[in-house]
């Protein structure tokens, strides 16, 4: 398969895609490697993961530039991503020696629990944050003693392949971490269905997540699913408007809007709605879209021609943008940052009003498009925020601490920020409510998702 640079449309690599038979062979290699990897002393496993983190750090610029070329990320974002890969490995390198069980008081003996690794874990990675999301699954799975097979997205396999090479350079045993590029319908499907794969970690669309969940259920296979989002950015009249306006563009346009946590529904209290949109329009026109290798660039291209066509379908000739920024002409999959404001008569709760705007407001666009509507008070804001099948992330802007806490408890989402748009920290759990997924990644308890609890009773009578 040809790998295309989204900013130039140049072919930068050709990658052979694995078929189902190659997946089977990879699983056999992983099963063989698992036996010795699980038996590796926790301290030795920890040292290897720390060495892997150091090797990643030594190659951080190489990885960042590979992500710029393969995924169209800005160089600033890509450097952060390479650093995040290193940091996640470092964080979970501390876990093997702290993967404690419990001693439970019982009559007649001693009761203890052990956290046993699952075996072979499949990690199916999306194209929007290839190396970062790969490592969210890989690092805790390896720390827990599992062997891992990664199936990267077809469009963006380059950093995953390089990370597998760096893992071997760091001393991880052969077969403990494998990367298999392949089509989702072939390699991904076989990985999900294979009886010797104990768990699947999938990040991607809710539609595909449902299919994976159903296939995994047939074999009682464990899953972690991080799926779609349509997150709300809720701005109250008592918020610091300068900060709220300044941060709103990149809350949705970062990574060209290709982010499941993007705050793509902007809910603004009616008293400040017109002022906020006027100021937002000026901020959007100043977003710098262009060469991803320029450190001043804030937004690069979309990932592919196919995805560009899909995003463009939400802002066709029947939709009049409230504001639109600029983007380069010529080669590349460019789309200007765009604001759509609710037309008169639009009510998402009764589902009345312009159907074209409603489609953009309700569906996950996964591009640099934000829809804005007004609200009246806390109760209305909560109803609007929750009127979606998704529940991944969101932001609440207010100067009232009590209101912030009330809203944070009432909004149905797994990751909320107050006066901030931050969603992901590797120290804290990440995952969604409703159709945004099952399970949690990251945080101090991530190893629980990659182990089984074994209970052992020892009689003293």
**Residues with a known catalytic role:** 226, 260
Q: How far is CA 329 from CA 290, 332, 334, in A?
A: 10, 8, 8
**What does the alpha-carbon distance between residue 61 and residue 382 come to, in Å, rounded to a whole number?**
43
Confirm if 23 and 191 have CB atoms less than 8 A apart: yes
In degrees and rounded to multiples of 5, residue 389 shows phi and psi of: -75, -10
The 8 Å CB, 24+ separation contacts for 241-248 are: 241/272, 241/275, 241/276, 241/279, 243/397, 243/419, 244/276, 244/397, 244/419, 245/276, 245/279, 245/280, 245/283, 246/283, 247/420, 247/421, 248/280, 248/283, 248/370
Neighbours of 17 (CB within 10 A): 14
Q: Is the Cβ–Cβ distance between 258 and 302 less than 8 Å?
A: yes
Instruction: Tally Cβ neighbours within 10 Å of residue 347.
Output: 12
Contact assessment for residue 131 and residue 63, using Cβ atoms and an 8 Å cutoff? yes
């Amino acid at each position: 398969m040809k790998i295309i640079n989204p900013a130039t449309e140049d072919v930068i690599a050709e990658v052979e895609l694995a078929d189902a038979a190659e997946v089977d062979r990879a699983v056999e290699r992983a099963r063989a490697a698992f036996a010795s990897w699980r038996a590796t002393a926790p301290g030795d496993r920890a040292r290897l993961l720390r060495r892997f983190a150091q090797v990643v750090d030594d190659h951080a610029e190489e990885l960042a530039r590979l992500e710029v070329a393969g995924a169209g990320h800005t160089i600033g974002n890509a450097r952060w991503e390479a650093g995040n890969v290193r940091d996640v490995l470092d964080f979970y390198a501390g876990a093997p020696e702290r993967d404690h069980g419990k001693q439970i008081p019982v009559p007649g003996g001693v009761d203890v629990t052990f956290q046993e690794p699952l075996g072979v874990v499949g990690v199916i990675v999306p194209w929007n944050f290839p190396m970062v999301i790969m490592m969210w699954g890989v690092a805790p799975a390896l720390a827990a003693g599992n062997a891992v097979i990664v199936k990267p997205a077809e469009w963006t396999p380059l950093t995953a392949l390089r990370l597998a090479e760096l893992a071997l350079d760091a001393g991880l045993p052969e077969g403990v971490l494998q990367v298999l590029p392949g089509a989702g319908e072939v390699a991904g499907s076989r990985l999900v269905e294979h009886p010797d794969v104990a768990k699947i970690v999938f990040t991607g669309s809710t539609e595909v997540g449902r299919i994976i969940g159903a296939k995994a259920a047939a074999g009682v296979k464990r899953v972690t699913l991080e799926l779609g989002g349509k997150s709300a950015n809720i701005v109250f009249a008592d918020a610091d408007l300068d900060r709220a306006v300044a941060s709103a563009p990149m809350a949705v346009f970062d990574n060209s809007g290709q982010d499941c946590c993007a705050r793509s529904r902007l809910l603004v209290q009616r008293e400040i709605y017109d002022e906020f949109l006027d100021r937002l329009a000026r901020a959007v026109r100043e977003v710098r879209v262009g060469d991803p290798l320029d450190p001043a660039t804030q937004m690069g291209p979309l990932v592919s021609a196919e995805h560009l066509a899909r995003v463009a379908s939400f802002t066709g000739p029947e939709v009049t943008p409230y504001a639109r920024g600029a983007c380069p002409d010529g080669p590349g999959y460019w789309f200007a940052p765009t604001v759509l404001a609710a037309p008169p008569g639009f009510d998402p709760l009764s589902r009345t009003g312009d159907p074209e705007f409603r489609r953009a407001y309700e569906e996950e666009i996964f591009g640099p498009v934000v829809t804005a509507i007004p609200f009246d008070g806390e109760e209305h804001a909560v109803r609007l925020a929750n009127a979606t099948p998704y529940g991944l992330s969101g932001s609440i802007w207010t100067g009232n601490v009590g209101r912030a806490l009330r809203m944070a408890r009432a909004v149905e989402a797994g990751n909320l920020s107050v006066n901030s748009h931050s969603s992901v920290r590797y120290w804290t759990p990440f995952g969604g409510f409703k159709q945004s997924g099952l399970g949690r990644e990251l945080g101090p308890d991530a190893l629980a998702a990659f182990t089984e609890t074994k209970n052992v009773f020892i009689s003293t009578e």
